[in-house]
Amino acid sequence: MVDKIIDTNMVTIVGKIVSEKEFSHEMYGEGFYSFSLEVPRLSESVDILPVTISERLIVNMDIRKGRYVLVEGQLRSYNRYIDNSNKLVLTVFARDIYMTEDDEELKELLKKPNEIYVDGYICKTPIYRTTPFGREITDLLVAVNRPYNKSDYIPCIAWGRNARFCQRLLIGDHVRLWGRIQSREYQKKLNNGEIISRVAYEVSISKLEYIKNDNNRDGKEDEE
């Protein structure tokens, strides 16, 4: 594994490959492939996360269903035109990949199978809501800058006291957050009445830092 570098978007996931790799796209003569990774939660459930990886990272590697891998990279977004509208699509873009046959080493890696750190800016008004059981949730969309004037737009969910705090955030506020990437299945009704199943990906926030001296506030709202 390579040494971690200071970045605004860092992901580490460990899990089992559950799909065959498929060709995704080519850029400047470099081919990219995608596959799905089953990442365990601390509970008995799992998240199925999409991974995109360069052909140059998997030379002589046995990337196939059933193998366990550690992937380090970034959570990236891009727009895809689906059902007559633009849809935000997320993928873990791999910068490095590691595979082990050692059961003890794998057991150690699986102790922290899903970690993400994001440093970005609120780019949509937060939405606060409660579940039927009274659990507090705030939905956020965080813009994370990367080189060449590009940005990734990452949906995030805050819970409990973090949800109460996040509902007060404004567009342009600078935040740093830590958590995990989760997959969530939902039902969507099309214009023709057909109901289809979709999967959404988002960051479940465990810790959040508000950067007080880098925001769009007028001062009065910071006095609490």
Question: How do residues 100-122 score in pLDDT, each as one tens digit?
Answer: 989 999 999 999 999 999 999 99
pLDDT of residue 190: 72
Domain 9-112, what fold? Answer: OB fold (Dihydrolipoamide Acetyltransferase, E2P) (2.40.50)
Percent of the chain at pLDDT exceeding 90: 72
Beta bridge partners of 99: 69
Q: Among 146, 91, 97, 112, which Cα is nearest to 42's? A: 112
Instruction: Locate 167 and state its tokens.
Output: 């509902």
Q: How far apart are CA 140 and CA 163, in angstroms?
A: 10
pLDDT of residue 56: 96
Beta bridge partners of 177: 118, 208
Please, is 161 exposed, middle or buried when counting C-beta atoms within 10 Å of its C-beta (0-12, 13-18, 19+)?
exposed
- Higher-scoring residue by pLDDT: 223, 147: 147
Domain-wise residue ranges, the chain: 9-112, 117-222
Are domains 9-112 and 117-222 of this chain identical in fold?
A: yes
pLDDT of residue 220: 42
Out of 2.40.50.140, 2.60.40.10, 1.10.10.1100, 3.40.50.300, the CATH code matching 117-222 is 2.40.50.140
Q: How far apart are CA 8 and CA 174, in angstroms?
A: 12
Question: How do residues 142-178 score in pLDDT, each as one tens digit?
Answer: 999 988 889 999 999 999 999 999 999 999 999 999 9
In this model, does residue 188 exceed pLDDT 80?
A: no
